[in-house]
Structure 1
Amino acid sequence: VTSYAFDISVPSLFLPLISGTSVNILAGEARFESMKHELQEQPYLLRMTPHHGKALIAFMGEAVCQLTHTFVIGGEAFPLELYDQLQAKFPNSVIYNHYGPTEATVGAIALNVTAQRDQIGATMPIGRPLPNTKVYILNKELGLVPKGAMGELYIAGPSVSKGYLNREELTQKSFVVNPFEDENSQYNLMYKTGDLVRYIGEDYLEYCGRVDEQIKIRGFRIEVGDIESQLLQLPEVDSAVVQAKELAGQLQLVAYVKFDLMHEIKFASSESQLQDNERKLAAIKRSLAGQLPEYMLPSQYQVMTDWPLSANGKLDKKALPVPSLTELSSVAVQPVSETEVRLVQIWSEVLQTSEEHISVVESFFSLGGNSLSLMLLLNKLRSEFGAALQLRELYQSSDIQSMAKRIEHLLWMEQDDDDEYEGELLVL
């Protein structure tokens, strides 16, 4: 199922040949149609990415295969939900999670998920090192981190390559001498993977994201994998990716989400589909707001019907569309009162976005606001309305409707105090 340009294709192509069997190379949808029938005929060893696994499940339809196949899933994160779906379609099969960068010659770590499913918690581990492979979880100074702590994964062993052809600088950066082995050891060279991992449970390794996916927004260090993990736990979400994008002149978190097919409803009109998407996104935002701090909440969301894939069958994050505020904004609920109209104008100035994209029921933070821009908004509101607003009140009333009511209430209270004072003077 994998492209020949992907390193996982090496055992897929050559293991059958050296075992005396044949290799059939199929293109496009034909490969899944063929597999659907072949898998009902005899047991197979199947190596594929999670995205290909999802496609296979879709092509299987209502069919269930009782034969004993062996699935090796790798190339990117393997969600537990996908494992359960595969196991339901192939109840007698054995399914492995397989991890290994090209630099470590295809495979370095694996887990028999079928055998260990009862011991696995909420997230899928990548497993334990394969024979003749050593792994180290290190900090930036190449020191071992405490057990259970997160660090960068280094791989050593005879399967580790010597470096990149004609790229000496990159080789020196990515392949380092192993400080825990002598120079004559077969483990004396380590590959710096750039992957963050930690030990969990029975000494299983858990993938925690990429070193280069740690971002800093407003002084807060954020691991986007933590946000993605929360999204994937929601019933509405099939898959999700979070990225930091430069929007409206500032770095913002954008969540790309694909809805769970089990929650999809076919609508007669695109308007009904849009309303359903808005309902689901509203539920997602509410759920995340209860699980994550404000600075980790995505300010923009983009609904995906399909993910862009590379030639290797992996998610191509670089091909994700750059979101525009026009596309991401809901159908704006227009202001009614004079206070709401002026608030829309002030929000537009602070958020550096068009007034037509601002809905009076949308949160300041979901439109791209943050704690710093909220301070700017507070100063503008105090200057514009003369109301004694407090910062905590803006957090509590984060949409224009609520904010307008709060401002009008404060102004009424201040006016009421003035009237009472004038009355006392008349009595005197």
Structure 2
Amino acid sequence: MKILDSIEKFAKTERAAVKCLGNELTYKELNENSDKIAKYLLEEFKSDRTPIIIYGNKENEILPIMIGALKSGRAYVPLDITFPEERVNQIIKEINPKVIFNFTQNNLKTHDALEINLDQLKDILKCEISNLSRDTWVKDDDNCYILFTSGSTGKPKGVQISKKNIDSFTQWFEKYLNFDESPNTILNQISYSFDVSVIPIYIGLGNGKTLFSLNKDTLEDLKELFNQLINSHIDCWVSTPALAEMCSKFDDFNDEKISDLTSFVFAGEVLTKKLIGELTKRFSKARIINGYGPTEATVLISAIDINKQMIESEKSIPIGYPIENCELSIIDKNGNKVKDGEKGELIVIGDSVSKGYLNNPEMTNKAFFKSADGKQGYKTGDLAYYEEGIIYYCGRKDFQIKLNGFRIEIEDIENNLRKVNNINNAVVFPVFNEEHKISHLTAFVVLNEENELSNLKKSILIKNELKKLIPSYMIPRNVKILKEFPLNTNGKIDRKKLMEAVK
């Protein structure tokens, strides 16, 4: 596996693998410590390959545990400290692990699993290392990690990602990024429980880069965040658009202060033209890459460099050209491929597609399928269309609603709100009445610049301008002005928290 080969290779250098809050872990330490953890797992649990759970945030010690799991032939399940207790316990119950590495002070309700805290981990790392056989490393169809996504039933779904899936993604995307083995630094801000973090881990470490980690406390202190970014020497920025939007409110977020930055990689939510425009002014020479992909198909299945023509076009920002070693098709309700320019559901077939949800054949059979030639496929639930080989995203199938007899796409309203003067970003929700029918729409917006108008007057101006762009039946009844959007663990806009405000 390339990441394991790379760590062994750069262990012979003095290169840093990861930095966080002034603490550094070299490739040599990462290699040795992961060997010790692999040895411990193999000796303690023998042939049992039950996945391990890692409960923490951005502690440097987490990476050796992940790599040690891979070297011992088992998957890891990362749980972020921001997960609610109920969600953590649901996942522990689902995995039924033999061991949990716990970096928190939280008391987990586990009866059977061995719980290892930081002090106990340090004891494991004091042991002598001996040469480990590569025979124990994860192989093609072995799971490398399992990430839990929200399930419509309220029960989280465990997406199983194998070595074959990761190889399919990394071989394509590292080439797309033009990554070589030069000693650059890549931003490692995304929670390990969110699959975009796979980019710095598997592509970053797989090419000898240094990961610059930002932990939860740093992200909650904007002054400290900027101090760290200015001194980070990051070359490649990887995040959701929401983090960059937050940073772009500050004048110091530019190529004078963060001078080594040459590329932005965005994924996880819609990239707006306003953010792109802001970034191109502040980082005039940097690549801005928009990526798209569901967790079930290993991080990204399409990507594109944004250019001036795309910003000036009436169309939304495209989600890109498809991954080389998978087939991406747009199909209609009957499963037939549609013509260029026609909208339908995006499906993906190929080696990047997960084998399915852990212990959940019912949901697996709903979302996954086998193609005519026996390859694994996944129905994304996303609406899209092709134009000249490029894919354009149109929103979720399940974001379509019916209001007063009209079929409405929520993201259509959001995209048009972003065109309104002085609106930086927008989120729209349907509001349900006592009969559980949609009564009206509510929009939350963040402005580019504050003014002295009352919120009521701002709301009226926004709605009047929006009427020029969309039919009146699509205009939200309420427009709520926020200073900033709350972010969830994955760095995305926290829609659940906003939704609570409209109930």
**1:91 correspondence with 2:91:** no
**1:210 correspondence with 2:210:** no
Cα distance, 1:4–1:322 mapped onto 2, change above 3 Å: closer
Partner of 1:73: 266
Mapping of residues 10-409 of structure 1, within 5 Å: 10-27=198-215, 28-29=218-219, 32-38=225-231, 42=233, 44-61=235-252, 63-65=254-256, 67=260, 69-114=262-307, 117=310, 120-178=313-371, 181-183=372-374, 188-200=375-387, 202-247=388-433, 251-261=438-448, 263-265=449-451, 275-323=453-501
Task: Give the secondary structure class of the aligned counterpart of 1:235.
Answer: coil
Does the aligned pair in 1 maintain the 2:427–2:445 contact within 8 Å?
no
Could you tell me how far apart the structure 2 residues matched to 1:54 and 1:126 are? 19
Root-mean-square deviation over aligned CA pairs: 2.4
Instruction: Quote how far apart the aligned CAs of 1:292 are.
Output: 2.6
Instruction: Quote how far apart the aligned CAs of 1:302 are.
Output: 2.1
Does the aligned pair in 2 maintain the 1:153–1:195 contact within 8 Å?
yes
Instruction: Quote how far apart the aligned CAs of 1:228 are.
Output: 1.3
**Structure 1 stretches of at least 4 aligned residues deviating more than 6 Å after TM superposition:** none
Instruction: Quote how far apart the aligned CAs of 1:313 are.
Output: 0.8
Instruction: Quote how far apart the aligned CAs of 1:303 are.
Output: 2.1
Could you tell me how far apart the structure 2 residues matched to 1:238 and 1:171 are? 38
Could you tell me how far apart the structure 2 residues matched to 1:182 and 1:291 are? 45
Task: Give the secondary structure class of the aligned counterpart of 2:249.
Answer: helix
Task: Give the secondary structure class of the aligned counterpart of 1:71.
Answer: strand
**Gapped regions of structure 2 (runs ≥ 5):** 1-188
Work out the percentage of aligned pairs sharing the same amino acid.
34
Structure 1: which amino acid aligns with 2:427?
V
Does the aligned pair in 2 maintain the 1:33–1:59 contact within 8 Å?
no
Does the aligned pair in 1 maintain the 2:236–2:261 contact within 8 Å?
no
TM-score where L is the length of structure 1: 0.66
Cα distance, 1:55–1:105 mapped onto 2, change above 3 Å: same
Bigger proportion of residues as strand: 2
Bigger Cα displacement from structure 2, 315-324 vs 126-135: 315-324
Bigger Cα displacement from structure 2, 114-123 vs 191-200: 114-123
Bigger proportion of residues as helix: 1
Cα distance, 1:290–1:56 mapped onto 2, change above 3 Å: closer
TM-score where L is the length of structure 2: 0.57
Instruction: Quote how far apart the aligned CAs of 1:308 are.
Output: 2.5
Task: Give the secondary structure class of the aligned counterpart of 1:312.
Answer: coil
Partner of 2:56: none
**Gapped regions of structure 1 (runs ≥ 5):** 266-272, 326-428
Size of the alignment, in residue pairs?
307
Task: Give the secondary structure class of the aligned counterpart of 2:460.
Answer: helix
Could you tell me how far apart the structure 1 residues matched to 2:468 and 2:234 are? 46
Structure 1: which amino acid aligns with 2:389?
D
Instruction: Quote how far apart the aligned CAs of 1:52 are.
Output: 0.8
